[in-house]
Amino acid sequence: MTTSVAPTRRVLIRQRTRAEILDAAWEQCRRGGLASLNLRALGAAVGMKAPSLYTHFSSKMEIYDAMFAQGYTAALAALPLYAGERTKPAVEQGIRDSVTRFIAFCLADPVRYQLLFQRTIPGFVPSEASMRLAYENLDRGRQLLVLLGLHAPEALDLATSVITGLVDQQISNDPGGDRWVRLIDDMLDMYLTFAIRRWCAPARRS
Amino acid sequence: MTTSVAPTRRVLIRQRTRAEILDAAWEQCRRGGLASLNLRALGAAVGMKAPSLYTHFSSKMEIYDAMFAQGYTAALAALPLYAGERTKPAVEQGIRDSVTRFIAFCLADPVRYQLLFQRTIPGFVPSEASMRLAYENLDRGRQLLVLLGLHAPEALDLATSVITGLVDQQISNDPGGDRWVRLIDDMLDMYLTFAIRRWCAPARRS
DNA sequence: GTCTATATTTGGATAGAC
DNA sequence: GTCTATCCAAATATAGAC
Per residue, what are the HEC states of A127-158? CHHHHHHHHHHHHHHHHHHHHCCCCCHHHHHH
Cβ of residue A50 lies below 7 Å from strand D? yes
Q: Which residue is nearest to nucleotide C15 (CA to C1')?
A: B51
- Rounded distance between C-alpha atoms, residue B118 and residue B122, angstroms: 11
In this prediction, residue B122 carries a pLDDT of 84
Reduced to 3 states (helix: H, G, I; strand: E, B; else coil), residue A194 is helix
Nearest residue to A34 via CA among A61, A16, A73: A61
Query: Quick check: B165 and A165 in contact, CB under 8 A?
Result: yes
In this prediction, residue A136 carries a pLDDT of 98
Q: Is the pLDDT of residue A4 over 60?
A: no
In this prediction, residue A2 has a pLDDT band, given cuts at 50, 70 and 90, of very low
In this prediction, residue A7 has a pLDDT band, given cuts at 50, 70 and 90, of confident
Mean local confidence (pLDDT), A100-105: 98
Please list the alpha-helical segments (H only) found in chain A: 9-32, 39-45, 50-53, 60-78, 88-108, 110-117, 128-147, 153-173, 184-199
Q: What is the pTM of this model?
A: 0.93
Residues in chain B with pLDDT values less than 50? 1-2, 204-206
Instruction: Give the distance between the most distant pair of CA atoms in chain A.
Output: 67
Q: What is the DSSP letter of A118?
A: S
- Rounded distance between C-alpha atoms, residue A191 and residue A183, angstroms: 12
Q: How far is CA B32 from CA A130, B2, B42, B119, B191, in A?
A: 25, 43, 12, 18, 35
Mean local confidence (pLDDT), A59-64: 97
> What is the number of other CB atoms lying within 10 angstroms of the CB of residue B21?
21
Q: What does the DSSP assignment read for chain B?
A: -GGGSS--HHHHHHHHHHHHHHHHHHHHHHHH-GGG--HHHHHHHTTS-HHHHTTT-SSHHHHHHHHHHHHHHHHHHHSPPP-S--SHHHHHHHHHHHHHHHHHHHHT-HHHHHHHHS--STT----HHHHHHHHHHHHHHHHHHHHTT---HHHHHHHHHHHHHHHHHHHHHSTTS-TTGGGHHHHHHHHHHHHHHHHS-SSS--
Residue of B117, B131, B162 to mutate for A, most A C-beta atoms under 10 A = B162
Nearest residue to A193 via CA among B66, B195, B24: B195
Residue B67 C-alpha, separation from nearest chain A C-alpha, in angstroms: 19
Mean local confidence (pLDDT), A11-32: 96
What angle (nearest 5°) sits at the alpha carbon of residue B160, between those of residues B35 and B119? 20
Q: Which nucleotide is nearest to A57 (CA to C1')?
A: D13
Contacts of B9-18 spanning 24+ positions with Cβ under 8 A: B14/B56, B17/B46, B17/B56, B18/B56, B18/B57, B18/B66
Find all residues with CB under 8 Å of A68, minimum gap 6, and list them.
Answer: A115, A116, A124, A126, A130
User: In this predicted model, what pLDDT tens digit does every residue of A110-120 receive, in sequence order?
Assistant: 999 999 999 88
- Rounded distance between C-alpha atoms, residue A17 and residue A2, angstroms: 24
Query: Residue A178 carries which side chain, given as an amino acid letter?
Result: D
In this prediction, residue A109 carries a pLDDT of 98
Which candidate from A161, A183, A198 shows the least CB-CB separation from B158?
Answer: A183
In this prediction, residue A205 carries a pLDDT of 47
- Rounded distance between C-alpha atoms, residue A183 and residue B198, angstroms: 12
Which candidate from A168, A182, A190 shows the least CB-CB separation from B194?
Answer: A190
Query: Residue A17 carries which side chain, given as an amino acid letter?
Result: T
Averaged pLDDT score across all residues of chain A: 94
Q: Is the pLDDT of residue A3 over 80?
A: no
Q: Which nucleotide is nearest to A52 (CA to C1')?
A: C2
Dihedral, CA atoms, A144, A149, A153, A154, nearest 10 degrees?
-110
Rg (CA), chain B: 20
Question: Phi then psi for B73, rounded to 5 degrees?
Answer: -60, -40
Half-sphere exposure of B196 (CA within 13 A, CB side): 14
Q: Is the pLDDT of residue A202 over 90?
A: no
Half-sphere exposure of B14 (CA within 13 A, CB side): 9
Cβ of residue A14 lies below 7 Å from strand C? yes
Determine, for residues B179 and A157 on separate chains, whether the beta-carbon distance falls below 8 Å.
yes
In this prediction, residue A5 has a pLDDT band, given cuts at 50, 70 and 90, of low
Residue A125 C-alpha, separation from nearest chain B C-alpha, in angstroms: 13
Distance of CA B137 to the CA centre of its chain: 8
Find all residues with CB under 8 Å of B130, minimum gap 6, and list them.
Answer: B65, B68, B69, B72
Determine, for residues A172 and B119 on separate chains, whether the beta-carbon distance falls below 8 Å.
yes
Q: Which nucleotide is nearest to A56 (CA to C1')?
A: C1
Query: Quick check: A60 and A38 in contact, CB under 8 A?
Result: no
Q: What is the DSSP letter of A87?
A: S
Residues 26-45 of A with CB under 7 A from strand D: 36-41
